[in-house]
Amino acid sequence: MDLATIWDIQQLLKRFGIFVYIGERKTNLEMMEVEIKDLYESNLIDMQDYQKAVLLLRREIQLENNSGRTGDKE
């Protein structure tokens, strides 16, 4: 499966009846990572899809962390 965007990951989760919406983007991304891990540990997705999804989610989480830093230097 081609996992290039967060939307792709959402579609993968949706195939298993998993819908993640908490309201805060970073929290949504973190919960998606937990769900992806659970799918992998249950042998429902392969290692390649697991790795792609986790890398993408962690990159997006890092971007969210960095976007929250405004005015750190004065």
The pTM (predicted TM-score) of the whole model is: 0.87
Residue 73 clears pLDDT 90, i.e. is over it: no
Question: Who's near 1: CB < 8 A, 6+ residues apart?
Answer: 8, 12, 49
pLDDT digits (tens, 9 = 90+) for 12-21: 999 999 999 9
* Tens of pLDDT, residues 34-63: 999 999 999 999 999 999 999 999 999 999
| 1 contacts 49 by C-beta, under 8 angstroms | yes
Q: Where are the domains of the chain?
A: 6-67
68 band by pLDDT with thresholds 50, 70 and 90? confident
* CATH code, 6-67: 1.10.287.760
Residue 69 has pLDDT above 70, yes or no: no
